Amino acid sequence: MIYCGAIEKMLELGYTKIHLQGHSLGCTKIIYTYNKLKEENADILKNIKSVILLSLVDIPGVQRAHIGEKNFYEGLTYAKKMEAENKRKDLMPREIFIHPISVSTYLTYFGNDNQELDFAKFADRYYDYKEINNIDVPLFMRWGTIYEFIAQELDQLIPALKEKINNTKLDIDYIAGADHNYHRKEEVLAGQMIKFIEGNKHAIK
C-alpha cells in the first residue's frame, strides 16, 4: 500500500475532512498519490474531500518549447551518456536548463521514467488526462500569468482543459498578475480557495 504518513497523522489527530493541496511539481505528487489510493481502494480515500492543484507544470513541454526539439533530444542523449559513465550527480551544461540541474534530476524530469509522472501534457491535443479525470472529489486548479512553467497561453489552455477534464466540481482559472509562487497575490489565492471549499460543502460529507 502507498505510504501516506501526513494523511495518517492528520487522521490520528482527529481530522476527518482532508483537502490535498500541491504546488508546482507537488501537484504531480498529489495526482500520483490520489490515483494510487484509488487503485488500491484504500479506506483513507473517503477522508479526502477535495484536491487543489496550484500551478501544475508541464516541464517537458516547456523544455521543448524553450530549447527546441533537436536540443531537447541532444540534452537527453547527453544525460544518458553521463548516467552510463556513473556521473549522475554531475551538473548538466548551463545552456540545457533554466537553472543548475543534476544529470539525475534531468533524467527524472525528461527520461523514460517520466512517462509515469507526466500528468500535464498540455501540448498533446489527444491527451486524455486520465489521471486527473480519476479524481472524483471537487477539483480546484489555478495558475498565475507571470513566469509559469507552461508553454501555452492561459486564455487558450484553460478552455481546452475544461473540455478535457470531466470533474463536475471543477473550478479552474488563473490569477492575473500572479507569478509561479503567487507572490503578493497570496490573499487573492487564499480567498478563492476558501470560496471553493465553502461552495462545495454540500459535496463534502
Question: What is the pLDDT at residue 60?
Answer: 85
Residue type at 3 in one-letter notation: Y
Alpha-carbon distances of 46 from 17, 34, 82, 137, 194, rounded to whole Å = 9, 11, 45, 10, 21
114-118: list long-range contacts, CB under 8 Å, 24+ apart.
Answer: 114/60, 117/28, 117/32, 118/60
The CATH H-level superfamily of 5-58+118-203 is: Alpha/Beta hydrolase fold, catalytic domain (3.40.50.1820)
In the chain, what are the domain boundaries? Answer: 5-58+118-203, 60-116
Question: What is the pLDDT at residue 162?
Answer: 97
Predicted structure pTM score:
0.88
Contact 174, 145 (CB under 8 A): yes
Question: What is the pLDDT at residue 195?
Answer: 96
pLDDT in tens, the chain (205 residues): 666 888 889 999 999 999 999 999 899 999 999 999 999 988 999 999 999 999 999 888 888 888 899 999 999 999 999 999 999 999 999 888 878 999 999 998 888 767 667 889 998 989 999 999 999 999 999 999 999 989 899 999 999 999 999 999 999 999 999 999 999 999 999 999 999 999 987 655 5
